[in-house]
Amino acid sequence: MKMYFSRNPNPRLAVTVGRYLKAEVAFEFAAPRAQGQGDRYLSLNPNLLLPILELPGKALWEADAIACWFSRHTGSDFWRTGDDEPDMIRWISWGKENFVRACDMVHWERGTKQRYRIGPCDQAMVEEGLKQFHAAARILEAELSGRAWLVGNSVSFADFRMGTFLPFNDAARLPIDDYPSLRRWYGQLEGIEAWRRPFDGLDAPELPPLPK
């Protein structure tokens, strides 16, 4: 079993889950959209996007699906089942359409576009992303003011998914410190070694630096 990854947000998330759950998987850095690489990965993921989990006779792509697979195959409740599963799926769904999406909008302009010289930062898109960030952060702040984690009494994939872009906040500069409960919650994620340092010991070239 092998997972192809990069240091970008969604592949990072999948690596973090695999290492947190101590899944028996080999990790291989990949760049499916690099010149001359597409044919190698097209049969594994027609989108030519990472992460990709290569299994005997098939491949699984999309970080959420891979996280579910890791949790099931390590016997963990990290991907909740039973009565907690609908609540977890609610936060994954809401997060991707609201908080995670807002973080992505700002990070794309301030981070990704600058790292890869895609174009100038669109300040109007940054402002729209920040507007959506604050709207979603207020909801999370109210929810997290009375609980440690999003689902139940321990960390779950809902927390990992919600925090997808926060390890890149050196670039995005999202004002999470304006929300004490949100900041406390994210501090708990940063206290998890696999979250904080998912690429330790892996052959994983650094992202291009941000321009000064």
What local confidence, expressed as pLDDT, does residue 129 receive?
A: 98
90 and 171 in a single domain? The answer is yes
104 and 65 in a single domain? The answer is no
Q: Looking at the domain assignment, is residue 206 inside a domain?
A: no
Phi then psi for residue 27, to 5 deg, are -110, 135
Q: Looking at the domain assignment, is residue 205 inside a domain?
A: no
Q: Which long-range contacts (CB under 8 A, 24 or more apart) does 28-32 make?
A: 28/2, 28/3, 28/4, 29/4, 29/5, 29/202, 29/203, 29/204, 29/205, 30/4, 30/5, 30/6, 31/6, 32/4
Place of tokens 């609201």: 98
Place of tokens 């669109």: 122
What local confidence, expressed as pLDDT, does residue 212 receive?
A: 81
| Cα 106 to Cα 122: distance, rounded to the nearest angstrom | 9
What local confidence, expressed as pLDDT, does residue 186 receive?
A: 98
What local confidence, expressed as pLDDT, does residue 104 receive?
A: 98
Read off the CATH number of the domain in which 149 is found. Answer: 1.20.1050.10
Read off the CATH number of the domain in which 59 is found. Answer: 3.40.30.10
The residue out of 78, 99, 126 marking a domain boundary is 78
What local confidence, expressed as pLDDT, does residue 25 receive?
A: 97
pLDDT, one tens digit per residue, over 95-140 is 999 999 999 999 999 999 999 999 999 999 999 999 999 999 999 9
The residue out of 25, 43, 78 marking a domain boundary is 78
The residue out of 40, 59, 78 marking a domain boundary is 78
Contact by Cβ (8 Å): 40, 63: no
Task: Please tell me the total count of domains within the chain.
Answer: 2
Average pLDDT per 10 consecutive residues for the chain, totaling 212 residues: 97 98 98 93 96 96 98 97 95 98 98 95 98 98 97 97 98 98 98 98 95 86
90 and 191 in a single domain? The answer is yes
26 and 66 in a single domain? The answer is yes
Q: Looking at the domain assignment, is residue 202 inside a domain?
A: no
Contact by Cβ (8 Å): 142, 207: no
Residue range of the domain that includes 34:
2-78
Q: Looking at the domain assignment, is residue 203 inside a domain?
A: no
172 and 152 in a single domain? The answer is yes
Query: What's the whole-model pTM score?
Result: 0.96
| Cα 37 to Cα 42: distance, rounded to the nearest angstrom | 9
